[in-house]
Chain A
Amino acid sequence: MSYHGGGHRRKQYRGGDDYSGHDHRHETFETPEQKLRKSIINLGEVDPVQELSRLANDLRAANDAAIAAGGPAIPAITEGFRIGVTEQPFKIPYYATLLRLLHDPATDAEDNASTDGSPALGKQVLEDFWKGFQTFLDKLAWREIRFCIQFFAHCTMAGLVSSQTLFELLRSFTVVLQEFGVSHGRAMKAGLCAAEGLMIAGPIMLKSGTDVTEIITAIGDYSESVNSTKTLVQPVVKLYDQSPVIEHADELLDSALAALNALVASGFAQTVDSFAQPYADFSPFPSSPFELPSVLVPPEVIELDGLTTEAGEDAQVKKEEWPAYFVRLFDNDVTPDLTTPSGYAVKSAILDIIDVFEVNRKECARLLLEYPKWTLHGTFKPRPGAPEQEPVAAKNWQLENTIIELTLGSVFLLPESIHRSIYYIALITEICKLSPQTVGPAVGKSIRKLYGLLSDGLDVEVAHRFADWFSVHMSNFGFAWVWKEWVPDIQLSVRHPKRRFVRQALEYEIRLSYYDRILKTLPEAMQSPEAQCMPEETPGPEYDYDDPSKPYHDSAQSLLSLLRGRTKAEDVVAHYESLKNTISETAEVDVNVSTVVRSIAVQSLLHIGNRSFSHFLNAIERYLPLLRNIASSGGTANIDARMDILNAVASYWKRLKNMVVIVFDKLMQYQIVDPTDVVAWTFLHGKAPTGAVGDSTFDAFQWDVLKGALDKANGRVTIARKKVTALRKEADDTAAKAIATEGAAMDVDADAKPGELYAYSTADVMHAAESPQLTTALKAFATLTREQKAALSRTVDGFVDYLVAADKSNQKAGEVITEKEWHNRVNWNEEQWETWETWCWFRHFCRAYSPYLRNYTQSLEVASMSKVASSGPAVDLFKKTWNIATGQDV
């Protein structure tokens, strides 16, 4: 990488911001259209209000110049608006104002405009903008649709759009809420479009006598219809409670509804305190407003590839969105309340910035910290050092706390965040880097609040992500956390969520760093082994046969030396076979010789590959024949053999549990074990490395293993589907080309080479008979969907067995879900906490894999539900959870 040395080139790649593009360096020339577009996009870089009239004049002048040069600049101007509105939603009120200005005739050329008779520039732009909206609508580009509606609503307030036609537009979105079987994602987005449009334009609608309750009722009815679904994705769990409203989190659509109700109650008096209206001071718009044409929200298009499983089940996965609960970390005087009009306006605007600028987290961080510029005066406390200002009642919030609360809220959305959680984690890092003194305290307070919520039922998956964020964040800031304040919690039960969190967070920190480094960051009270905060010993391998006094030491050493000497695989296999005899001659009667030999071989293989991930890959790749021999045990597929392999791995890496997950992943990749084997292992043996007390308990480590296996099974189906689709398309294309060429060849076959003609006709014949590749791909697809179903089925079985099996009563499972027991949780012992955690993982499994479970509901129920006990509170909760996840009546 020779350019590292050359100082003269260095600045070109430092940081992503000053990216200049190697191939574009000479393309700095901008066309007039590009300049025009850019001037609109950059509106407000200094002061939006000041810039507006100048920009309006510039645009008018540019348009006049363009007309003189041949054609108007309307398309370029509209594109600028379109980009501005959909990519910088915080500027929407200012774009509405700019458009209002463009409706006025030019001050110096009044005669000109009135004589040529063409409509005002603003009107032409609005008409053109509408066409763009129609395109977004046709594509169901929801984010863009929402921002356009906000824009139209502001334009309505500015008098540019007729309020009756805006109302009709909003109504066409509430129609979506009443569609039969509407997906939640679609309903939520349509509902938000209507709600936000009404929040912004409510005052003028009210004035014109429109009855807005229709819209509110439609949203309310829909929200109520999904109340039971909501209970499955609340970030703070109360297993006994059915209420859609919870204390520490707000659901997005419900919050919009609450804000709307508050607005209606006050006759939309709060709109002016919630949304910027830079157009408000303008004289009323004299001409007749633009009538928005009526629209229909097109139905969702699902591209069916017609691929089904052997049993005819629909194997296509339709990812479904769920109600979105945002965790609340601060009081209403610190951060806005999402359920109030002004709170909703601020918070949803920040959420939009976080979403839109995902492509560049550094710019996103900057824009978030600059956000107050676009809000109403007094929304946030002034920055330290800025001139004092009179606090605005019920506002004056803390910007940094609000941003961190919402970013973390986005990480903790269940079942999954919109973008990968690492995006939000990296975003928080950037925000901290920009303003450490103000953001640091907000992050610290958020951590303390979340830590506190661990005692009050913070969902286990949320806690998992909390630990993940915590460790990565600390890794970026010198692992500087004040652990001291959590020392008193060492007295809690070892399985209490707070203790689980500390242990997990430290384990994750160690993975990103190393044991001694992290140990050093802890106070003494937490360093001691009795505190059980850190892993007992330095993480590392544990070869059972190292000690000469241990049984089978000699046998293991003999195999190990062959592996170390890179002996050919077949010779090692021969030696492995002979070891069976050697050991069975000397072993005690009750020893399972096969298990012992397998454990020796697998551990020895891991031992020669224990120096690094790539050493491990090299070792198993070199000795795949040995592993295959062990897994198949002389020809017959043997589940015991595969469990022995997995057990040997878990035992070897018991002091470094993430290695267990990594090794399992590669054993599946090399097809030594199947995902279903790993799922089975999770429930049969996965408990051992977790140190659990109870028999039927499931924890975060088991979840990682389970998720690895299920994702592997699902990922294989995804690849197989893509392959089939691609091959089918290829075959169709070839066929079409062949037909076209044949047609062409008749006309001008003098030029065609005989070889080409031959090739095409062969392809044609192949297609008719289905190409062998396609046959193979279809066969693979059938095998892999079968495997997928087996893995899911084994998981459901596992949870049935742990929680509600007819033949194995689990008294605790019924106990911990009652309200009475929950309020008594300070007295819970290890087993009770473990059982509660098991319930939470079951819930997470159901919601996270719901799209897959829906495809196989029937056969999974036939296979597993028969094993469920007949009745009881645990059975009720189990079935209810299952029914919500699979979209059945609760």
Chain B
Amino acid sequence: MAHVVTPLDQPSNYKDSQARLDRQKQNELLARSSTLYIGNLSFFTTEEQIYEIFSKCTSPEEGGGIKRIIMGLDRNTRTPCGFCFVEYYTHAEALACLRYVSGTKLDERIIRCDLDLGYREGRQFGRGKSGGQVRDEHRQDYDPGRGGWGAQAQRLEIERRREVEERYADAQEGPGAVAGGGGDWKEAGTADNPLKRARSPDDQGDSERAAPRARMDDDHARM
């Protein structure tokens, strides 16, 4: 069913400009990706709002769902700077967003979705010179949802702004800064899964933090 019209879930021109992979490899990865890059968000939009609209494309009966959301932050101020990553458990869910969510409004802005190669450490931060997204460096218009020209904002949004500014003040950098979201179901009590095992104090600690990291690396190896 693609002879008459172009399906909306075809890959677009979006790419991670800093990915060090050739085009063909990137396309192969995108054809399996379950991660979306979401652009043109308001700086005030919360992860819960994002979760709400993107949960409408999940297929839990197929083992899907929202794995995690990674909010894009200004690298200097640690405040949202208008983009995020939404990671699903399945590729089909990401495609559904391209068909049904991309180009519709969230928080009264038209948002844009694109398949992404997958989150890697450091990508939660803006790449513009002043810490935010590059597009906001060059923007010529007044956009209240993205900080206006300068620090102006609509009156109603002042309270939201205060919350937003504090929310990610604790954001960390480096490995393990971003949670994994929970992996596949595992049998309790097997070697690689300490679920419900009688615990002793000395085998815990940092090993727990390593688990999601390992899974992330694994994701990348597969992708």
Q: From known contacts A87-B4, A88-B4, A422-B57, infer whether A613 and B104 are also in contact, taking CB-CB under 8 Å.
A: no
A357 at the interface (CB under 8 A from B): yes
Question: Taking the nearest CB of chain B, how far is it from the CB of A690, in angstroms?
Answer: 20
* Chain A residue at smallest Cβ distance from B205: A568
Task: Give the distance in Å from the alpha carbon of A622 to the alpha carbon of B63 in the complex.
Answer: 24
Task: Give the distance in Å from the alpha carbon of A632 to the alpha carbon of B195 in the complex.
Answer: 10
Q: From known contacts A516-B156, A621-B212, A669-B181, infer whether A2 and B127 are also in contact, taking CB-CB under 8 Å.
A: yes
A306 at the interface (CB under 8 A from B): no
A514 at the interface (CB under 8 A from B): yes
Task: Give the distance in Å from the alpha carbon of A635 to the alpha carbon of B189 in the complex.
Answer: 12
A624, B181: Cβ atoms under 8 Å? no
A665, B65: Cβ atoms under 8 Å? yes
Give the number of residues in A that approach B within 8 Å (Cβ atoms): 92
A712, B60: Cβ atoms under 8 Å? yes
A475, B48: Cβ atoms under 8 Å? no
The listed residue (B2, B69, B159, B186) touching A613 by CB distance below 8 A is B69
Give 1 or 0 for each of A763-781: 1 = CB within 8 Å of chain B CB.
0000000000000100110
Q: From known contacts A41-B4, A613-B47, infer whether A715 and B195 are also in contact, taking CB-CB under 8 Å.
A: no
Task: Give the distance in Å from the alpha carbon of A631 to the alpha carbon of B195 in the complex.
Answer: 10
Question: Taking the nearest CB of chain A, how far is it from the CB of B75, in angstroms?
Answer: 14
Interface, chain A (partner B; CB < 8 A): 1-5, 9, 12-13, 15-17, 19, 21-23, 37, 41, 83, 87-88, 356-363, 420-423, 425-426, 429, 468, 472, 475-476, 478, 508, 511-514, 516-517, 520, 568-570, 573-574, 611-615, 617-618, 621-622, 624-625, 628-629, 631-632, 635, 637, 658-659, 662, 665-666, 669-671, 708, 711-712, 714-716, 718-720, 776, 779-780, 783-784
Residues of A within 8 A of B120 (CB): none
A2, B134: Cβ atoms under 8 Å? yes
B218 at the interface (CB under 8 A from A): no
The listed residue (B64, B102, B137, B160) touching A715 by CB distance below 8 A is B64
Task: Give the distance in Å from the alpha carbon of A360 to the alpha carbon of B159 in the complex.
Answer: 39
A4, B134: Cβ atoms under 8 Å? yes
Which of A358, A423, A669 lies at the interface centre, i.e. has the most chain B CB atoms within 10 A of its CB? A669
Residues of A within 8 A of B204 (CB): 568-570, 573, 625
Task: Give the distance in Å from the alpha carbon of A365 to the alpha carbon of B157 in the complex.
Answer: 34
Question: Taking the nearest CB of chain B, how far is it from the CB of A212, in angstroms?
Answer: 33
B68, A617: Cβ atoms under 8 Å? yes
The listed residue (B70, B99, B187) touching A776 by CB distance below 8 A is B187
A611, B2: Cβ atoms under 8 Å? no
Task: Give the distance in Å from the alpha carbon of A514 to the alpha carbon of B145 in the complex.
Answer: 14
A614, B61: Cβ atoms under 8 Å? no
Which of A516, A612, A635 lies at the interface centre, i.e. has the most chain B CB atoms within 10 A of its CB? A612
Q: What are the 10 tightest A-B residue pairs by CB atom distance, in nearest-first order?
A: A4-B135, A669-B182, A711-B60, A617-B179, A359-B7, A715-B63, A719-B63, A363-B5, A422-B56, A613-B47
Question: Taking the nearest CB of chain A, how far is it from the CB of B86, in angstroms?
Answer: 10
A17, B6: Cβ atoms under 8 Å? yes
Residues of B within 8 A of A22 (CB): 13, 23
Task: Give the distance in Å from the alpha carbon of A667 to the alpha carbon of B73 in the complex.
Answer: 27
Task: Give the distance in Å from the alpha carbon of A4 to the alpha carbon of B112 in the complex.
Answer: 12
B68, A21: Cβ atoms under 8 Å? no
Task: Give the distance in Å from the alpha carbon of A595 to the alpha carbon of B215 in the complex.
Answer: 34
Question: Taking the nearest CB of chain B, how far is it from the CB of A654, in angstroms?
Answer: 16
Q: 29 A-B residue contacts at CB 8 Å?
A: A1-B83, A1-B134, A1-B135, A3-B15, A16-B103, A17-B6, A23-B23, A87-B1, A358-B99, A422-B100, A426-B100, A475-B106, A511-B48, A513-B49, A570-B201, A611-B168, A614-B47, A614-B68, A614-B178, A617-B181, A621-B208, A621-B212, A658-B48, A662-B51, A671-B186, A715-B60, A715-B64, A715-B65, A718-B61
* Chain B residue at smallest Cβ distance from A715: B63
The listed residue (A621, A625, A779) touching B179 by CB distance below 8 A is A621
Question: Taking the nearest CB of chain A, how far is it from the CB of B217, in angstroms?
Answer: 16
A361, B99: Cβ atoms under 8 Å? yes
Residues of B within 8 A of A625 (CB): 199, 204, 208
Residues of B within 8 A of A670 (CB): 182
B51, A629: Cβ atoms under 8 Å? no
Q: From known contacts A569-B205, A612-B71, infer whether A1 and B185 are also in contact, taking CB-CB under 8 Å.
A: no
B52 at the interface (CB under 8 A from A): yes
Q: From known contacts A361-B8, A362-B8, A621-B180, infer whether A1 and B186 are also in contact, taking CB-CB under 8 Å.
A: no
B196, A512: Cβ atoms under 8 Å? no
B17, A3: Cβ atoms under 8 Å? yes
Residues of B within 8 A of A468 (CB): 56
Residues of B within 8 A of A776 (CB): 187
Task: Give the distance in Å from the alpha carbon of A87 to the alpha carbon of B6 in the complex.
Answer: 12
In chain B, residues 133-159, which have Cβ atoms closer than 8 Å to a Cβ of chain A? 133-135, 137-138, 156, 159
Task: Give the distance in Å from the alpha carbon of A46 to the alpha carbon of B5 in the complex.
Answer: 17
Question: Taking the nearest CB of chain B, how far is it from the CB of A468, in angstroms?
Answer: 8
* Chain B residue at smallest Cβ distance from A632: B196
Question: Taking the nearest CB of chain A, how far is it from the CB of B210, in angstroms?
Answer: 11
B61, A359: Cβ atoms under 8 Å? no
* Chain B residue at smallest Cβ distance from A317: B61
B188 at the interface (CB under 8 A from A): yes
Question: Taking the nearest CB of chain B, how far is it from the CB of A33, in angstroms?
Answer: 13
Question: Taking the nearest CB of chain B, how far is it from the CB of A121, in angstroms?
Answer: 22
The listed residue (B7, B48, B100, B205) touching A420 by CB distance below 8 A is B100
Task: Give the distance in Å from the alpha carbon of A718 to the alpha carbon of B62 in the complex.
Answer: 6
Task: Give the distance in Å from the alpha carbon of A852 to the alpha carbon of B131 in the complex.
Answer: 51
Question: Taking the nearest CB of chain A, how far is it from the CB of B69, in angstroms?
Answer: 6
The listed residue (A5, A426, A624) touching B104 by CB distance below 8 A is A426
Give 1 or 0 for each of B1-35: 1 = CB within 8 Å of chain A CB.
11111111110111111000001000100000000
A624, B208: Cβ atoms under 8 Å? yes
A779, B187: Cβ atoms under 8 Å? yes
Q: From known contacts A478-B108, A612-B47, A621-B180, infer whether A41 and B199 are also in contact, taking CB-CB under 8 Å.
A: no
